[in-house]
Structure 1
Amino acid sequence: MDITLARQALKPPAVPPPIENPSAKIRRRTTWQGASFTVPYFLGFALFIVVPVIVGLSESLYTKKSSGLGFGGQTITFSGLDNFTRGMSDEAFWGGLLRVTLFSLIVIPVIQIIGLAAALLIDEVGRRAAGRFRVALLIPHMVPGIVAILIWIYLYSPVVGPLTPFFQLFGIDADFYSGGLIWVSIGNIMVWSGIGFNILVVYGALQNIPREIFDSARVDGASALRIAWSIKVPFVRTSLVLTSVLAIIGTLQIFSDPMLFRSMTPETVDRNFTPIMMIYDQAFAVGDLSYASALSIILAAVVGLASAIFYKLTNRTPT
């Protein structure tokens, strides 16, 4: 009995369970509530991005062959990387990619320079005037892309459009559907509809710059041009990199503009004019989904590599 009492006396007292901090519980609940708003995005990303990529990758590993002039049915055989090998040596595909690459090297800097210059000019005027200019310049971006292309195709038309007769008044025979001007016509549409988004992004970044920096620079005798080049442009470099990457992704995958121009001038814009047009033709005109899937994956790899290289070269912290 004495030994039992001694053991009970030596036994350490029971430690009560820790009381959870109410503020920590509230923070954790708030975190989960905030994270729940990302669920629709991730569901859409998985459904419309991840699943199609997996299906396309699996489709590209097979080849469908028709027998009996198409009346004997189709046989599906595993071809491994044969479709990718064929795509890597397809001159039509790489020729279209070269065309859009050269086009990108011209149109993307033009969009970036005009958008940056317009954002800097808007930042110099008063807030009320800036609001009017910002809305006016954003309107082209708000117009649906297909509608904008159809409007410009009408304006470019040498039969019913007003631009060809206007240039003829100055002795200029401008055929916007010709091989020499087709890329100019497409580039003008992209600049017209794209600078509004760039202005909005860059102007928003300019509003985050402390105004005291500008006052100090003016006291030191810096002009408005010097302030814009030495202070404002470095501050918005991240926004310029972002808009440039988005422009690279969009331009290398250009489809709707040349596709609608093809309906007006098929002799100038052929079915392999851009990589996406060739992929579309292989999938829905030729019916070779396996080869189209392989070309899509190759194009995605090229676009991703180009974007990564550009981001690596431009998004550097100055020393």
Structure 2
Amino acid sequence: MVPFFVLFAAATVAPLCYAAWMSLFREESSGLGFGGTRRVFSGLGNFTEALGNADFLRSFGHIALYCVLYIPAMVGGALILALLLDSALARARRFFQIAYFLPHAVPGLIASLIWLYLYTPGLSPVTEVLGSLGAHWNFFGEDEAILSVVNISAWQWIGYNMIIFYAGLQAVPREVLEAATVDGAGAVRSALRIKVPMIRSTVVLTLLFTCVGAIQLFDAPKLVQLRANAMGEDWSPTMFIYTAAFKGHDYGLAAASSLLLALVAGLLSFVVTKLGNRWKAS
């Protein structure tokens, strides 16, 4: 276990400690700025500034709306596909497992670029088909942009979570399903009353990872924002941190915001785990 802890300390613990140290300082310019900048101790000043920043707080609202749309679509879609593959009527299971998983094999940045092309009028065959049918949809509109981001994320992660659900379904005792069939339960009732309850732990684990991943969303909204100006450069918490650090050069504020984001992710993980344990025990 030593190599794991060495890598964990170098890649996780050390950056967190350094971020905590940076969050206690801020850069100040003297005079008109010709004298350069100097680092001064600010204590919790960066944290209070982040908590008082309307853009930073608004970014969590955007992510909350994103989770409301994304989590049911992704988790529900992955679970439905897994149940279909596990059904007695399924054919070519191996082919569909690979086909559904392939989008996850595409790096997130590349996937976002692909969909950015498919969203762009004049370039995308999707918009051409919609136009020929008399339908007009602005993928970069003020209200539609978040749906474009949800679509990118769901396209990339449904197949991955489908594999996890399908693996969990394989552990369901076949004799239990056979007994349900003998008792007259159809495919849908067996799926909802037997299969899904017996993979509750898998569903809870997937929800936990999905929530933690959603709050760290960056690639998709960052690229969609290039065309959807209404989103702004601080649409998500990670985008706010990126903008504060690499455009505003306020590394203290960025570090404090990062730690606050980690705290929120930890609290969210705790809540999801507690609710999941209650569901498993019910």
Q: Which amino acid aligns with 1:311?
A: T
**Among 182, 206, 211, the residue aligned to 2:169:** 206
Rounded Cα–Cα distance in structure 2 between residues aligned with 1:125 and 1:39: 46
Q: Is residue 159 of structure 1 aligned with residue 125 of structure 2?
A: no
Rounded Cα–Cα distance in structure 1 between residues aligned with 2:218 and 2:281: 37
Shift, 1:172, TM fit: 1.8
Could you say which structure has the larger radius of gyration?
1
Counterpart of 2:28 in structure 1 is: 65
Q: Is residue 106 of structure 1 aligned with residue 63 of structure 2?
A: no
Q: Which amino acid aligns with 1:109?
A: P
The 5 Å alignment of 1:82-121 reads 82-121=45-84
Q: Deviations over 1:284-305 (max 9, x none)?
A: 1111100100011111111211
Higher relative contact order (CA 8 A, sep 6+): 2
Q: Is residue 43 of structure 1 aligned with residue 6 of structure 2?
A: yes
Q: Deviations over 1:113-172 (max 9, x none)?
A: 111010001001478721111111101111111111111111111121112221112222
**Among 26, 43, 54, the residue aligned to 2:17:** 54
Shift, 1:87, TM fit: 1.2
Shift, 1:56, TM fit: 0.4
Counterpart of 1:177 in structure 2 is: 140
Counterpart of 1:275 in structure 2 is: 237
Q: Which amino acid aligns with 2:95?
A: R
Q: Deviations over 1:210-230 (max 9, x none)?
A: 111111111111111111111
Q: TM-score, normalised by structure 1?
A: 0.85
Moved more, 202-211 or 256-265: 256-265
Q: Is residue 191 of structure 1 aligned with residue 154 of structure 2?
A: yes
**Among 250, 262, 279, the residue aligned to 1:288:** 250
Counterpart of 1:146 in structure 2 is: 109
Rounded Cα–Cα distance in structure 2 between residues aligned with 1:116 and 1:87: 38
Identity of aligned residues (%): 38
| Paired residues of 2:22 and 2:255 also in contact (CA < 8 A) | yes
Runs of 4+ in 1 over 3 A off after TM superposition: 125-128
Q: Deviations over 1:246-277 (max 9, x none)?
A: 11111111111111122334x22311111111
The 5 Å alignment of 1:10-25 reads none
| Paired residues of 2:122 and 2:128 also in contact (CA < 8 A) | no
Q: Which amino acid aligns with 1:103?
A: Y
Shift, 1:69, TM fit: 3.5
Change (3 A) 1:258 1:69: farther
What is the number of equivalent residue pairs in this alignment? 281
| Paired residues of 2:84 and 2:90 also in contact (CA < 8 A) | no
Change (3 A) 1:119 1:87: same
Q: Residue 286 of structure 1 aligns to a residue in which SS?
A: coil
Rounded Cα–Cα distance in structure 2 between residues aligned with 1:41 and 1:128: 41
Q: Residue 179 of structure 1 aligns to a residue in which SS?
A: coil
| Paired residues of 2:29 and 2:35 also in contact (CA < 8 A) | yes
Counterpart of 2:191 in structure 1 is: 228
Counterpart of 1:310 in structure 2 is: 272
Unaligned 5+ segments in structure 1 are 1-37
The 5 Å alignment of 1:238-253 reads 238-253=201-216
Q: Which amino acid aligns with 2:16?
A: V
Rounded Cα–Cα distance in structure 2 between residues aligned with 1:234 and 1:62: 50
